[in-house]
Amino acid sequence: MTNSAVVLADTAAYAAAVEEASQAAAAYYATGESVLDDDAYDRLARGIAAYEKEHPQDVLAESPTGKVAGGVAVGDVPHTVPMLSLDNVFSAEQFAAWAASLERRIGRPVTAWSVEPKLDGLAVAARYRAGRLEQLITRGDGTAGEDVSHAIGTVVGLPRQLAEPVTIEMRGEILMTTEQFEQANTLRTEHGGAPFANARNGAAGTLRAKDRPYTVEMTFFAYGVVALPAPGEPAAMPAELPHSETLAHAAGLGVHTAADTAVAPRTVTSVEEAQARIEEVASLRASLPFGIDGVVIKADLAADQRDAGSGTRAPRWAIAYKLPAVEKVTRLLGVEWNVGRTGIIAPRAVLEPVEIDGSTVSFATLHNPADITRRDLRIGDHVMVYKAGDIIPRIEAPVAHLRTGDEQPVVFPEVCPQCGSEIDSSEQRWRCVRGRNCRLVASVSYAAGRDQLDIEGLGATRVVQLVDAGLVADFADLFTLEREQLLALERMGETSTDNLLAAIDAARAQPLSRVFCALGVRGTGRSMSRRIARYFADMDRIRAADVETLQRVDGIGKEKAAGVVAELVELAPLIEKLVAAGLTMTEPGATPPPEPGEEGDAAAPGEGVDGRPLDGMTVVVTGAMTGALEKLSRNQMNELIERAGGKASSSVSKRTTLLVAGEKAGSKRTKAEDLGVRIAGPQEFAELIADFLPSEV
């Protein structure tokens, strides 16, 4: 985690920084649109604070330091109890130092810490009178906020009526989930508006918007409770509850908390345990359906909070551990058009390099031309770029209010940028009319890859040789190659030739699922190819399936099914060549689906019909395998699971039946434990599916 701050050299630089921070904060709290991204604002604020510490005589009254919402938020509805911000730390060392200072302040060790996600939204107070939601108020300057009660009814997790008729105030964050953000931008662009740059700005702008011709849904997560009983009313909750029990009380009343998420609040007993949980939450960040920008650690016991007290800006018993930024504002310099192995023409954004989450990002994905049009992207735009974990960076939207008028429209290609042929633009994803023939080398290399036919020794360089020599026009031609033809190529001696021919011959025995994956049918990959092969059991049944039949395969909808059917017709000559070459066109262990009118609906084809050990189970594999499973790739493990009757999955959820946890299993094991999912080690799992292990294991 970087803890860099803007360095301010003199009084003039300091004054300019204060003005810039104030303008950015004012824009954010007024409309949800700031000229600075979150990380840039944090670095600027840290630079201002550092300068003021060294030069206290120069501190300006309008400085954001020590003020809630930077001192610029407005509001005329007084808060019942000050609604403060949080101070920040940026490393394990800073967190440990803060915790030690808290314990010195209260004069005793803190024995219970609550660790919970720092949700990336807008803080609000929701006031309930006799159990009925009456008022929504923003944080404002901490003493008074803005009335946004017009949004009542559009926020998931804030019921109009609580489970009990209590008078109480729920405090929490209103945000947009990933799904809500996409829906919001679709609605916004359909009504002529510019898309939101990110979910945080979307929530801030939407919460304040009135009289829109459409409704955008948001979500509330409670992080605190304030009891507000009037004289003569019963207490809204027991007094002096630990913070963790307060959240549980809120959930019991029907208010949404983070308890049911992968980053549910957790109570720990030491700073070391808190740090471990921080790292777990950080590792889950990329998979969450909502944004977080840090982790909040609080002294859980009411007595510790009371004795620690609060400052003018933040409580002294809580801290925000900020995580590396996963979104930044940068400029869109251009768009490249690349052609994939199936002829798909994919746009890629060229960006002014920017550091995000510890790496320099110069490119970002753009899904298709329609996506560029919908987001109204223009060359020269300032754009919000998002990156999390190992996910390819993507552009959320242009920051429209930063446009100067010099931006230029993105120019779409009129012919295939690879071969100059016509473009089929009838679907959202454009494609060269030559399809695979446009990128023959890429197509053949993909088919020969480890997770497809696994032809060792057939890299891209060798494929180029074969294509340039006229020996290969598709990957089926690999199986008709003769020894003399290969020996005539440069750098092909007898040993390498014999090894390659042996690898090609061995590929004939690969199961149907790998052969189907090698075809590169659009909309299918390794997992989907296995599901299709296990459902139909042989290639003839796959080719004979219509759109309705294909939809019986888990994960295939009507649109994808139609695409698969159409592409299999296109691939018919290639499939016939593969059949003639002797490739396997059946899936070992799979049971064909029943013919129309036959019995057999009690179990899905290939599942639960022959007593296999994983029938009906959803299995996730994580960590390093040992013993009999040590040499298997993750794809081979998934194939093994499905041969044994199970369904392989990459993420742990309530639907997971079994987690196979190897060494350094990490966050998936933690989540499985939280959900009560059965966990097996590599040896136990190998014994469970021993009859299905490859003979060489």
Share of the chain above pLDDT 70, in %: 91
Percent of the chain past pLDDT 90, that is, above it, reads: 44
438-461 tens-digit pLDDT: 778 888 999 999 889 999 989 888
Superfamily the domain 435-507 falls into:
5' to 3' exonuclease, C-terminal subdomain (1.10.150.20)
Determine the average pLDDT of the residues in 264-292. Answer: 91
Answer CATH for 77-322 from 3.40.220.10, 1.20.1090.10, 3.30.470.30, 3.40.50.150: 3.30.470.30
For position 68, what pLDDT does the model report? 63
State yes or no: is 118 an active-site residue: yes
The mean per-residue pLDDT over the stretch 50-79 comes to 76
Q: Is the pLDDT of residue 467 over 80?
A: yes
Give CA 630 to chain center in angstroms: 29
Fold of 327-424: OB fold (Dihydrolipoamide Acetyltransferase, E2P) (2.40.50)
Average of per-residue pLDDT values in the chain? 86
Dihedral angle of Cα 295, 300, 305, 306, to the nearest 10 degrees: 160
Domain limits, the chain: 11-65, 77-322, 327-424, 435-507, 611-697
Predicted TM-score of the model (pTM): 0.58
| Residue 115 vs residue 368, higher pLDDT | 115
143 is written with which tokens?
């003493």
pLDDT at residue 188 is higher than 90:
no
Q: Which fold has domain 611-697?
A: Rossmann fold (3.40.50)
Which of 299, 345, 330, 258 minimizes the C-alpha distance to 100?
Answer: 299
Look at residue 604 and tell me whether its pLDDT is greater than 60: no
Please indicate whether residue 113 or residue 390 has the higher confidence score (pLDDT).
113
DSSP assignment string, 364-425: EE---HHHHHHHT-EET-EEEEE--TTSPPEEEEE-GGG--S--EEPPPPSS-TTT---EE-
Q: What is the pLDDT of residues 341-393, one digit of tens each?
A: 778 899 999 999 988 876 788 998 888 898 898 888 999 999 988 875 546 78
Confidence of residue 127 (pLDDT cuts 50, 70, 90): very high
Report for 349-363, 538-552, 592-606: range of highest mean pLDDT: 538-552
Q: Residue 95 pLDDT more than 60?
A: yes
Q: Which pLDDT score, from 0 to 100, does residue 333 have?
A: 96
pLDDT of residue 696: 61
156 DSSP β-pair partners: 219
Q: What is the pLDDT of residue 607?
A: 41
Annotated catalytic residue, options 118, 322, 387, 560: 118
Amino acid at 380: G
Domain 11-65 superfamily per CATH: Helix hairpin bin (1.10.287.610)
Residue 230: DSSP 8-state: P
Q: What is the pLDDT of residue 549?
A: 92
pLDDT for 37 equals 66
Q: What's the rounded Cα separation, in Å, for the pair 692 and 595?
A: 27
More confident residue, 185 or 503: 503
Q: In the predicted model, what is the mean pLDDT of residues 393-399?
A: 83
Residue 688 is encoded by which pair of tokens?
């469970």
